Amino acid sequence: MEKIAVFPGSFDPITRGHENVINRASLLFDKLIIAIGENAEKREMFEITKRIEWIKKTFQDNKKIEVVVYSGLTVDYCKTRNIQYILRGIRTSADFEFERSIGQINKMIYPEIETIFLLSLPQYTALNSSIVRDIIRHKGNPDNFIPERLKGLVRL
Ligand code: ADP
């Protein structure tokens, strides 16, 4: 059976931290679905079409990567598409505690779905989309924090 994983997140915008986790995980699975969660409560900085375009451009040479938008519970999305793995990145102990409860509850809902964690590289531990948005909002240059291919593109 094909090993398929979903990497859920907001990707508002995609960062080098996400890119690194995705590249490493794509070696472990036959297919990796980057799933942008539609969240009615979060006000995103970038339109969903932009976020999709930037992820696609970043991984244009990687045939294993697919980009989708979904709403509802990540485990329900996995179930409807017969996906066996959820991928998450861990930067800090705070990430771990947050992910632990979600992962354990997800396992109670659907025991057949496994959550897989990859540790961030040390140089990306401090990086998150919210810092990148702050840089952009204040007219700074975010290019060192977003994928190389997106240089000059991720702006308001
Ligand atoms: P969310 O909206 O769930 O916080 P994000 O888009 O911020 O989603 O992140 C999606 C996934 O990417 C999460 O598993 C998160 O831990 C991981 N991630 C985000 N930034 C980094 C980073 N710098 N290094 C490794 N993983 C990261």
Q: Where is 89: in which H helix or E strand? A: strand 85-90
Minimal-distance CA residue to ligand 1 atom 1: 9
Using the predicted structure, report yes or no on whether residue 132 has a pLDDT greater than 90. Answer: yes
pLDDT of 96 reads 98
- Are the C-beta atoms of 56 and 33 separated by less than 8 Å? no
Kindly indicate the confidence band of residue 67, based on its pLDDT and cuts at 50, 70 and 90.
very high
Residues 82-116 have pLDDT tens digits of 999 999 999 999 999 999 999 999 999 999 999 99
How far does the centroid of ligand 1 lie from the alpha carbon of residue 110, in Å?
22
Looking at residue 55, its amino acid is I
**Unique residue bearing structure tokens 């992910």:** 99
Minimal-distance CA residue to ligand 1 atom 15: 89
Q: How far is CA 82 from each of CA 85, 93, 112, 129, rounded to the nearest angstrom?
A: 10, 31, 10, 29
Helices (H) and strands (E) in the chain, counts: 5, 5
pLDDT of 40 reads 76
CA distance 54 to 62: 14
The two structure tokens encoding residue 145: 């924090």
Residues 3-60 have pLDDT tens digits of 999 999 999 999 999 999 999 999 999 999 999 999 877 789 999 999 999 999 999 9
